[in-house]
Amino acid sequence: MVGAVSIGSDSAAIVIDDLTLGYQRHPAVHHVDCRIETGSLTALIGPNGAGKTTLLRGLAGELAPFTGQITSNSAGKTAFLPQMHNIDFAIPLSVEEAVAMGLWQRIGIEKGIGKHERQMIADALQAVKLRPGDRRQLGELSGGVLQRVLFARMMLRDADVILLDEPFQSVDERTTSDLLDVVVRWHEEGKTVIVSLHDLDLVRTRFPQAMLLARELLCHGPAAKIATVANLERARGMCAGFDEKAKVCEHKSKMPGFAENPNERASGVSSPSLYGN
């Protein structure tokens, strides 16, 4: 995680403290406080424009904070799968070669791929239900197959923290189900995983934790409690009222609706502003 500070023996993989992120000096998501526990699986939800991508980009080190900081466990290597891929299809690359690139950080670009590495690549391809030795060019693939390739490449990066931005957008049910199996596998391996998505049923049934964003963190806790249509509607209303051209406010206590009384945070649900149930 670029620019993150180590938190040593803390059980959290990531601690976010009064974090404001944005573009051209205007905040897009502001004054976020939360702890992401090591090994947790969290759905990041909120309406379009709520700031999910912005927050994930901040966690990935792509955006520098306007205020606050992100503190990470020192062991934490972070892998980020963006909402929009930035693959240059003009560069000829086969499925297998693209997946093998996931090993570069681990073995270095200089070191050749040996028998052990070939097996790792084959295993990753099998985990996403693609054939080992697949020589198809990336430019020929459907969106769903390309997403399988990108997941297989993530597997080989061996990161401790995995950030996925709408990975199930425009893929069919079968692909979603296969890729969710990979997410669950990462969770079982003890990785810390944050996934942004819009499917509330999927969030309630497959994710233990959820964070609801509406330009600020509205609540963080058990997904079954948080991922409701009513909460999303209220989040949508808050996003609609957000001033795109606002200046950075100095402190979260200046935010409209901010509950300063910590007793308003209900058990199991960290609720910095609303939804204290």
Ligand X SMILES: Nc1ncnc2c1ncn2[C@@H]1O[C@H](COP(=O)(O)OP(=O)(O)OP(=O)(O)O)[C@@H](O)[C@H]1O
Q: Which residues bind ligand X (CB under 6 A)?
A: 23, 28, 46, 48-54, 83, 244
User: Is residue 53 at the binding interface for Mg ion, with CB under 5 A as the rule?
Assistant: yes
**Could you give the CA distance from residue 171 to residue 237 in angstroms, rounded to a whole number?**
28
Residue 216 CB, nearest approach to ligand X (Å): 12
105 contacts which partner out of ligand X, Mg ion, none, CB within 5 to 8 A by kind?
none
38 binds Mg ion (CB under 5 A): no
Task: For ligand X, give the closer residue by CB, 133 or 256.
Answer: 256
Residues 77-96 close enough to bind Mg ion by CB under 5 A: 83
Q: In the bound complex, what is the minimum distance in angstroms from residue 28's beta carbon to ligand X? A: 3
Phi then psi dihedrals of residue 19, to 5 deg: -85, 125
Closer residue to ligand X, CB minimum distance, 188 or 233: 233
b/e for 231-253, b at 16 or more Cβ within 10 A?
A: bbebbbebbeebeeeeeeeeebe
Which C-beta is closer to ligand X: that of 28 or that of 152?
Answer: 28
| Least distance CB 269 / Mg ion (angstroms) | 24
The entry of ligand X, Mg ion, none near residue 23 (CB within 5 to 8 angstroms by kind) is ligand X
The Cα–Cα gap between 86 and 96 comes to: 18
Q: What b-and-e string marks burial along 185-214, b requiring 16 or more CB atoms within 10 Å of the CB?
A: ebbeeebbbbbbbbebebbbebbebbbbbb
Closest CA to 44 of 274, 207, 237: 207
Report the interface residues with Mg ion, using CB under 5 A.
Answer: 52-53, 83
